[in-house]
A and B are shown apart, each in its own frame.
Chain A
Amino acid sequence: MRIVVAYKWTCDPEEATARADGTVDWSRAKPGLSAYDPVAIEVARQFADEAGAELIGVTAGGKGVASPLAAKAALGRGLDRVVTVEDESLADAGRSELAAVLAEVIRHIGDVDLIITGDSSVDVAAKMVPTVLAGELGWPAVAEVTSITGQAGALRVERAIPGGVQLLEISGPAVLAAAADAAAPRVPGMKDLLAAGKKPAELLELAALKVPPPNAVMTVTGRAVPEHKPRQGQLIDTADPAEAAAELVSALRQAGAL
């Protein structure tokens, strides 16, 4: 069985600062694995160990994603090998373009039975790549996955839904996004980190992949913060509880809350 984890090498927005003109200064932010990707790798490693599967990491992006540091950081977490695409043109790629590239990487690897991703990326948090990737491959996509068992062609998946857990059986390959709390990622031991540099890291040329244009292109056209309604500061005298309750209900109706 062959399992792939799609991970992202990026900067944590907590380390970035906002300039006066509203743009983001990333220069002091140190790149690393996106915060939820170690969870995905841990979920994948546990399942791969049970199933006797090979565990491969894949990533695509701009400068640095295929650096030795990035590869070792991912391999040290428990991957058997990594396959990466690094190209300047991907630095500002949209989710659909990235998903199309990842789909070609999956086809290049061949015979992939399962793709696992993190819940979202720490920088953009769009939660789109797993579903768009699945669409490119023609596979089902499932989010909020908390457990994976079974084997290739007969996966049993648990996912968190409001108020409970949903159980799924999937008869073919799928893209599963691990819930943010699906597993406690193990901290790599010193031997894991020192061995990471000896594991295979394959770098693919973007041009050689001949990525077809995506089926649809999604473009972020803008961002806005939610409208901030100022507090009305209305005080209600509670000396008479019945009158106060009536006055509160009336005020809430006027404000459109009831």
Chain B
Amino acid sequence: MDFELTDEQQLIREAVREFAETEVTPIAAELDRDHRFPRELLPRLAEMNLMGMPYPEKEGGAGADYVSYVISIEELSRACASTAVIVSAHTSLATWPIFKFGTQAQKDQYLNDMASGRRLGAFALTEPAAGTDAGAGTATATMHADGYALNGSKMFITNAPYADVYVAFAKTDPERGTRGMSAFIVEKDTPGFSVGEAEHKLGIRGSSTPPVYFSDCRVPRDALLGGEGDGFKIAMATLDGGRIGIAAQALGIAQAALDASVAYAKERVQFGKPIATLQAIQWMIADMATEIDAARLLVYRAASCVDNGRPYSTEGAMAKLFASEVATRVAGKAIQIHGGYGYTESYPVERNYRDAKITEIYEGTSEVQRMVIARSTLR
């Protein structure tokens, strides 16, 4: 069993880290403080080929393996969790369903632009009364002579209103429950589509997550992604992969918190010596480092399953469950190590703490991950 990264994976880690430290870290605190979406980073992320890493070059992507992709999300998250989820939601949630389920015409129309980063994507599944119970969504898609009319509302839509392309889910046959849900590709300027006010969140404040509304929003017949009734399956398959990206985000947040704690512990002097010499601090650091390494192995293993064409639903669930809970724990310990200063905006660990929590919630809560793992284990 070889635990070493390939040359390409090592170089990709170094390059993304260099990019993140040079161009993302300097604005991370400001994005968080001002709840600002980093529009100026989008063209740079596209130039770096970070917006469609796992997609083939002929489709506009970088042609990288999935391990390299999660490494890029990890390194971006280390600098700014908001920037990382913009990339992850675009790549894993919005672009992937078109890559996997799109017709050739749909791929010709959207895939190259999205995989190259020229157009930004978003995934519109969650509704005010349908979060974990995604199948209970009430948005509808009614067929007309020239296509479908979508009606309903979605909330917490990452990348709205900046996204150009939305993969949205609505029921073509509400009476069939999850089997009546279909997926559609909706462009941002479609009449009847609108975006609400952005939410003010505890963390990932640079990521925009407003509600979106469909009010007799007319889309052509060929906006249907997959077949009628395939929507729930498409959504669940998409989230299976997307949660590996969120696991990588959690990993990056945790690593940032640990790095900050190590640096602080070496400098902060109490009782005449650095607190890094105190056993209480050393044991906290040891636990943090061990948990992060374990999380990393789970995340990379799940990504490796994707690369090797193996099933990854359970592995992805394990990675997200563990890494997200590690991130919250580690970020909490990081504040403890920093003491009073850790509670202020002068140090980045309070942002790590606030950013970490969402990784236990979105793209499938920890409770959902436990359901997936239990179902697989108890089969």
Contact = CB atoms under 8 A, between A and B. Distances in A.
**Are A and B interaction partners?**
yes
Interface of A: 32, 68-69, 72-73, 76, 187-191, 193-194, 196-197
A187 B11 CA distance: 11
B11 A69 contact: yes
A187 B19 contact: yes
B10 interface: yes
Most chain A CB atoms below 10 A, which of B7, B12, B19: B7
A189 B72 contact: no
Contacts of A72: 7-8, 11
Closest 7 A/B residue pairs (Cβ):
A190-B49, A190-B62, A69-B7, A187-B19, A189-B49, A193-B11, A189-B48
Most chain A CB atoms below 10 A, which of B18, B22, B47, B62: B62
Contacts of B68: 190
Contacts of A197: 7-8
B15 A193 contact: yes
A194 B63 contact: yes
B197 interface: no
Interface string B86-124: 000000000000000000000000000000000000000
B14 interface: yes
A193 B12 contact: yes
B63 A187 contact: no
Most chain A CB atoms below 10 A, which of B12, B22, B57: B12
Given A69-B7, A72-B7, A197-B7, A191 B12 contact: no
A72 to B, nearest CB: 5
Contacts of B167: none
State which size class the interface on B falls in: 20 to 34
A194 B69 CA distance: 12
B7 A190 contact: no
25 contacts: A69-B10, A69-B11, A72-B7, A72-B8, A76-B11, A187-B15, A187-B18, A187-B19, A187-B48, A188-B11, A189-B15, A189-B47, A189-B48, A190-B12, A190-B15, A190-B49, A190-B53, A190-B64, A190-B68, A190-B72, A191-B49, A191-B62, A193-B8, A193-B15, A197-B7
B14 A190 contact: no
A72 B7 CA distance: 8
B154 to A, nearest CB: 31
B50 interface: yes
Given A72-B8, A72-B11, A193-B8, A187 B49 contact: no
B215 to A, nearest CB: 40
A68 B10 CA distance: 12
A191 B63 contact: yes
Contacts of A190: 12, 15, 48-50, 53, 62, 64, 68, 72
A225 to B, nearest CB: 24
Interface in B13-64: 14-15, 18-19, 22, 47-50, 53, 57, 62-64
Given A187-B22, A191-B49, A32 B8 contact: no
A107 B175 CA distance: 79
A32 B10 CA distance: 11
B289 to A, nearest CB: 15
Given A32-B14, A76-B15, A191 B57 contact: yes
A197 B68 CA distance: 15
B86 to A, nearest CB: 17
B217 to A, nearest CB: 35
Contacts of A188: 11, 15
A41 B18 CA distance: 16
A189 B19 CA distance: 9
B56 to A, nearest CB: 11
Contacts of B62: 189-191, 194
Contacts of A189: 15, 47-49, 62
Contacts of B8: 72, 193-194, 197
Contacts of A68: 7
B141 to A, nearest CB: 36
B49 A73 contact: no
Nearest to A32: B14
Nearest to B12: A193
Given A76-B11, A189-B49, A190-B48, 17 more contacts: A68-B7, A69-B7, A72-B8, A73-B11, A187-B15, A187-B19, A189-B48, A189-B62, A190-B12, A190-B15, A190-B53, A190-B68, A190-B72, A191-B57, A193-B8, A193-B12, A193-B15
Contacts of B53: 190
A194 B64 CA distance: 7
A164 to B, nearest CB: 29
Contacts of B57: 191
B183 to A, nearest CB: 28
Nearest to B49: A190
A196 B11 contact: yes
Nearest to A76: B11
Nearest to A193: B11
Nearest to B10: A69
A221 to B, nearest CB: 36
Contacts of A191: 49, 57, 62-63
Contacts of B19: 187
A181 to B, nearest CB: 15
Contacts of B72: 190
Contacts of A73: 11, 14
Nearest to B72: A190
Nearest to A185: B18
A193 B14 CA distance: 11
A196 B57 CA distance: 15
